Amino acid sequence: MTTYPRISGLIPDELEDRLAELLDDLPVLGCQLSPAGDGLQALEVFLAPVRGDGASVTTAHRLTAAGARSVQCSMLADQDWLEVYRRQVTPFPVGQRWWIDPHPDRPTRAPSGRLRLAVEPRMAFGSGSHESTQLVLLELERMDLCGRSVLDIGTGSGILALAADRLGARPVIGFDLDPDAIWVARQTAIQQEWPAGPRLFVGTLRAVAPGPFDVVLCNMLPSQFLPFVAEIALRLARDGAALFSGVLESERGAVSDRLAEAGLEVCGRTQLDDWTSLVARLAGG
């Protein structure tokens, strides 16, 4: 039976924003946080099974050095965690227009005035529960996308490409480096209650024709999208909009500066908890 390293402990609330940076180069499968009172949160970090305990020791040392308390390492027996989550999760609203249904096989009708997106939690980012995904959904519902072209960079589960498609965008193109993510995105497209038609492929931004695109979506960490933000600008229509999410509020200033260096001017932002989305247009457009 496969077992997985688990590192647990208590972290101060302010350390939450730094977790992605602290653990970025480690084989992390996921993290779980829950309130512990007195300005602390209980943290569990789950690692991929690798030879030796080097990753576990490194994780524990980094967390301790950053201010974590009572850090412990243990092993966790394998089970279908996603199946456990699927049994527990229920449909939920996002913004004014969206209804996220995690059970395509047992559909729940969307309340009046809302659009249903069937998104079963799988091994691809984008179930609709994370603030960064919700921020893009909030921006999309404010736009008139009918007949406008949309490019979804790092599409993951395909939820954002599908949302744009549902709002009438044409064409909608989404891509991801992960073949498993594109498989999930295509399966998710099939499960919608309308004939969803985003074009989905495995590859990089360089495989995308210059465009231009009316709307570019990028729900990724800044460390992932900033290296090629100039290429994003090249594919944006003169009057188009680029939506960047996955940005912590503490990073907003630095990210805005980097976008400006690439010729993109931030013209709007939305915040949910510690996460921020930025809307940018070509400078002078």
Helix (H) or strand (E) holding 93: strand 92-94
Instruction: Look up the CATH number of the domain holding residue 200.
Output: 3.40.50.150
Half-sphere exposure of 114 (CA within 13 A, CB side): 20
Cβ neighbourhood burial of 179 (10 Å; 0-12, 13-18, 19+): exposed
Cβ neighbourhood burial of 75 (10 Å; 0-12, 13-18, 19+): exposed
Q: Do 132 and 245 contact (CB within 8 A), yes or no?
A: yes
For residues 265 and 36, the model is more confident at 265
Is 167 found in the same domain as 254?
yes
Lowest mean pLDDT among 33-37, 97-101, 168-172, 249-253: 33-37
What 3-state class would DSSP assign to 45? strand
Determine, yes or no, domain membership for 242: yes
Instruction: Look up the CATH number of the domain holding residue 7.
Output: 3.30.70.260
What 3-state class would DSSP assign to 58? helix
How many domains is the chain partitioned into structurally? 2
pLDDT 10s digits, 138-171: 999 999 999 999 999 999 999 999 999 999 999 9
**E-assigned strands of the chain?**
3-12, 28-37, 40-47, 69-77, 92-94, 98-101, 115-118, 150-153, 172-176, 199-202, 213-219, 236-248, 264-272, 275-282
Is 272 found in the same domain as 144?
yes
Q: Note the pLDDT of residue 4.
A: 83
Average per-residue pLDDT in the chain?
Answer: 91
Is 254 found in the same domain as 174?
yes
φ, ψ dihedrals at 205, nearest 5°: -60, -30
Which two tokens mark 154?
Answer: 């790092």
Specify which residues 118 forms β-bridges with.
Answer: 101
Q: How far apart are CA 127 and CA 103, in angstroms?
A: 11
Q: Note the pLDDT of residue 51.
A: 67
Q: Note the pLDDT of residue 127.
A: 85
pLDDT 10s digits, 107-147: 999 999 999 999 988 766 788 889 999 999 999 999 999 99
Mean pLDDT of 6-19: 92
Q: Which of 57, 78, 99 is the last residue of a domain?
A: 78
DSSP symbol at 191: T
Q: How far apart are CA 98 and CA 19, in angstroms?
A: 30
Q: pTM for the complete prediction?
A: 0.75
Domain around 69: 3-78
Q: Note the pLDDT of residue 155.
A: 96
Q: Note the pLDDT of residue 223.
A: 92
Q: Do 219 and 133 contact (CB within 8 A), yes or no?
A: yes
Q: At residue 21, what is the residue type? A: E
Beta pairing class for 213-219 and 150-153: parallel
pLDDT band, very low/low/confident/very high, at 63 (cuts 50, 70, 90): very high
Q: Do 161 and 172 contact (CB within 8 A), yes or no?
A: yes
Determine, yes or no, domain membership for 234: yes
Q: Note the pLDDT of residue 87.
A: 64
Is 201 found in the same domain as 69?
no
pLDDT 10s digits, 24-46: 889 888 888 888 889 999 999 98
